[in-house]
Amino acid sequence: REGGIHDSQVNVREMCLSEEEYLTLQLGPAKSPRFLPVCITYLVIFMVGVLGNSLTCTVILRYKVMQTPTNYYLLSLAVSDLLVLLLGMPLELYEMQQNYPFLLGEGGCYFKIFLFETVCFASILNVTALSVERYVAVVHPLKVKYLATRAHVKRVILVLWGLSMLCAVPNASLHGIVVLPPRFGREFPRSAICNLVKPAWMYNMIILISTLVFFALPLLIISILYLLIGLQLHREKVRNTVARLSKRNLQVTKMLCVLVVVFSLCWAPFHVDRLMWSYIDPSSARHQMIFEGVHIVSGVCFYLSSAVNPILYNLMSTRFRERFGHITCHARGCPALGALTELQNGTQTSLVNVPVQVAGHPV
């Protein structure tokens, strides 16, 4: 009887609420209380990332000498990062500013999940393929001209993107538009959110498999490859042969190794966030509070990974740094850097080291 009286009191209170108050009670505030600081952080990342990745794409597409198999993977990675920043970030900011209703409909909901899944898979596959290419270039240099041609790399990149889009379909298909059930004879169309519409066990299984197949396993493979690369470079250093070759391979490998480490650190919170969401107890206030903190950190790291790569290229690659400077200088209308002007025609000068084809491809 006491339970029935309590339920009646709750029903009476909820019946007296306005629609906005009822939606806030059921779904939380329409605008995230952390919107402003997160928005400012995202906008800084957006400006740095869009500028840096646009420069990366321009440098690789503009200069023939930069159109190497290694750099094609970096180009593909830059395109993935631009998609995240130009399409994914505005969608997330929109949702933080207005958690409900979701105004883009079923198609927009599907596209949002599909986009994030695709770029997630494409990024890790590109980094893995890049590591394999570097392994072949350093450890099996004689096979480079057969396994790392431009045409071959372009085909590999197309396959990687196709595979990423295919693997993004299962998770995207589990989501749709969800609205609160009718109550007190009222419907709540303004409660529409993009959320899971299929059984939770299916989502949990997909997230677990994708974390293992598209994060843990690739990182294991990449770690083994760079270990073998390191051993090979150490042997070359001990033999003290083809010193120039070793120096070039060492510079390129160091840059890509740092890229992989930073990539791993930035993407780890994203996968932790997904796994947590799969297994937390939604009714636990403590779990929800912990998850909200992890979710914000994972979002910042996720977008930061899309902005940091061009910074690494500029810091660790002489060729990228010179061409970044040349393009920005040209955009400001300052005199062209004399020795680099020939590079527009794909010609190298004495200021740039001549690439050694047997060693792999310069960056």
Structure tokens at 328: 């920005």
- Residue 75: give the domain boundaries: 40-99+124-173+200-326+352-359
pLDDT tens per residue across span 305-353: 888 888 877 776 777 777 777 777 765 555 544 444 444 444 433 333 3
Q: Does 165 or 246 have the greater pLDDT score?
A: 165
In a domain, 80, yes or no: yes
pLDDT at 250: 64
pLDDT at 165: 94
177 Cβ contact partners less than 8 Å away, ≥ 6 residues apart: 102, 105, 106, 109, 192, 193, 194, 195, 197
Out of 8-12, 56-60, 73-77, 123-127, least confident range = 8-12
What average pLDDT score do residues 172-192 get?
A: 78
pLDDT at 36 exceeding the cut of 80: yes
In a domain, 302, yes or no: yes
Question: In angstroms, what CA-CA distances link 69 with 60, 64, 227, 243, 251?
Answer: 11, 12, 21, 23, 16
189, containing H or E segment: strand 186-196
Q: Are 62 and 319 in contact (CB under 8 A)?
A: no
Q: Which of 74-78, 161-165, 313-317 has the highest mean pLDDT?
A: 161-165
In a domain, 338, yes or no: no
What percentage of the chain carries pLDDT values higher than 90?
11
pLDDT at 225: 86
In a domain, 184, yes or no: no
pLDDT at 4: 45
pLDDT tens per residue across span 40-72: 999 999 999 999 899 888 888 888 888 888 888
In the structure, what pLDDT confidence band is assigned to residue 168 with cuts at 50, 70 and 90? very high
CATH number at residue 46: 1.20.1070.10
In a domain, 191, yes or no: no
In the structure, what pLDDT confidence band is assigned to residue 166 with cuts at 50, 70 and 90? very high
What average pLDDT score do residues 105-123 get?
A: 89
Place of tokens 């070039």: 248
pLDDT at 50: 92
Place of tokens 């690494």: 312
In a domain, 79, yes or no: yes
Q: Does 256 or 251 have the greater pLDDT score?
A: 256
Out of 72-76, 105-109, 133-137, 288-292, least confident range = 288-292
Per the structure, the count of domains in the chain is: 1
CB atoms within 10 A of CB 43: 12
**Distance (Å, rounded) from C-alpha 76 to C-alpha 216?**
21
pLDDT at 167: 93
Q: Count of alpha carbons within 13 Å of 195, Cβ hemisphere only?
A: 14
**Distance (Å, rounded) from C-alpha 269 to C-alpha 294?**
7
Q: What is the mean pLDDT of the chain?
A: 76
pLDDT tens per residue across span 219-233: 888 888 888 887 877
What percentage of the chain carries pLDDT values higher than 70?
72
In a domain, 194, yes or no: no
**Distance (Å, rounded) from C-alpha 223 to C-alpha 261?**
10
pLDDT at 160: 93
Cα–chain center distance at 14:
42
In a domain, 56, yes or no: yes
In the structure, what pLDDT confidence band is assigned to residue 11 with cuts at 50, 70 and 90? low
In the structure, what pLDDT confidence band is assigned to residue 169 with cuts at 50, 70 and 90? very high
pLDDT tens per residue across span 270-303: 888 888 777 776 666 666 677 777 778 888 888 8
Q: Does 201 or 32 have the greater pLDDT score?
A: 201
pLDDT at 2: 42
Structure tokens at 67: 């159109």
In the structure, what pLDDT confidence band is assigned to residue 22 with cuts at 50, 70 and 90? low
Cα–chain center distance at 74:
13
Task: Name residue 183's beta-bridge partners.
Answer: 186
**Distance (Å, rounded) from C-alpha 223 to C-alpha 316?**
20
Q: Are 270 and 298 in contact (CB under 8 A)?
A: yes
What average pLDDT score do residues 238-248 get?
A: 55
pLDDT at 257 exceeding the cut of 90: no
At position 185, the amino acid (one-letter code) is: G
Q: Count of alpha carbons within 13 Å of 39, Cβ hemisphere only?
A: 14
